[in-house]
A and B are shown apart, each in its own frame.
Chain A
Amino acid sequence: MTLLLLLAVLDGLAYAALVFMVAVGLTLVFGVLRVLNVAHGSFFAIGAYVAATLGTAAAATAAAPVLALPVLLIAAILVGGVLGPLVEKLLLSRIYVKDHVLQLLVTFALFMILEDVQKLIWGVQPIFQDAAVKALGPVEVGDIVYTRYQLFLLPGVAATTLVGLMWFLRRTLTGRVIVAVTQDREAATAMGIDAQRVYLLTFTFGTMLAALGGALASPTSSLVPGVGVNMIVLSFAVVATAGLGQIEGAALTALLIGLGRSVAVYFAPEFEVVIPYIIMVLVLLVRPYGIFGSPELRRV
Chain B
Amino acid sequence: MRLTRRAALQAAAAAPLASPFILPRNAVAQQKPSELRLGISTFLSGPASVFGVPGRNAADLIIEQFNSSGGIGGVPLRSVVIDEAPGVDFLLGECRRLAQNEGVDMMLASISSGSCLAVAPLAEQLRMPTILWDCGTQRIFEENSYRYSVRTQANAVPEIVAPLLYLMRVKPDFRTLAVVNQDYAWGRDSWAIWKAAMDAIKPGVRVVAELFPRFGATDFSTEITRLQALRPDVILSTSWGGELDTFVRQAAERRLFERSTFVLPLAESSLERVGRTLPEGVIVGARGDHWFLHPTARDGELLKNFTQSYRQRFNLYPIYPTFHMAQALYGMKAGYEKAIAANGGSWPSREQVMDTMRGLEFQHLTGTMKIRDDGQGLEPMLMGVTRHVEAYNFPVLDQMILYPPDLTMNPTGTKGLDWVRLLTPAAVQRAPAPIAYRA
Contact = CB atoms under 8 A, between A and B. Distances in A.
A141 to B, nearest CB: 9
A234 B250 CA distance: 22
Given A143-B228, A150-B221, A230-B216, A225 B253 contact: no
B76 interface: no
Contacts of B46: 225-226
A45 B191 CA distance: 32
Interface stretch (B47-55, B385-393, B420-428): B47-55
A145 B221 CA distance: 11
Interface string A1-15: 001100110111011
A222 B253 contact: no
Given A116-B45, A133-B253, A143-B228, A8 B222 contact: yes
A119 interface: yes
Interface residues of B, number: 38
A34 interface: no
B219 to A, nearest CB: 6
B273 A126 contact: yes
B253 A126 contact: no
Nearest to B45: A225
B216 A144 contact: no
B218 A265 contact: no
Contacts of B134: none
A4 B242 CA distance: 28
B183 A265 contact: no
Contacts of A46: none
B273 A144 contact: no
Interface in A29-63: none
Contacts of A292: none
Contact of B218 (A7, A217, A273): A217
Contact of A220 (B44, B219, B222, B316): B219
Interface in A101-145: 115-116, 119, 124-126, 128, 130, 133-134, 138, 143-145
Interface in B209-223: 210-214, 216, 218-219, 221-223
A6 to B, nearest CB: 10
B255 interface: yes
B50 A266 contact: no
A16 to B, nearest CB: 11
A218 to B, nearest CB: 10
Given A125-B316, A261-B222, A273-B183, A119 B241 contact: no
Contacts of A116: 45
A146 B224 CA distance: 9
Nearest to A224: B242
A269 B45 contact: no
Contact of A128 (B49, B50, B212, B246): B246
A222 B275 CA distance: 14
Interface string B238-252: 000111011001100
B229 interface: yes
A125 B211 contact: no
Interface of A: 3-4, 7-8, 10-12, 14-15, 18, 115-116, 119, 124-126, 128, 130, 133-134, 138, 143-147, 150, 217, 220-227, 229-230, 261-262, 265-266, 269-270, 272-273
Given A8-B222, A230-B214, A269-B210, 5 more contacts: A125-B316, A147-B253, A221-B246, A222-B243, A224-B47
Interface of B: 44-47, 49-50, 52-53, 183, 210-214, 216, 218-219, 221-223, 225-226, 228-229, 241-243, 245-246, 249-250, 253-256, 273-274, 316
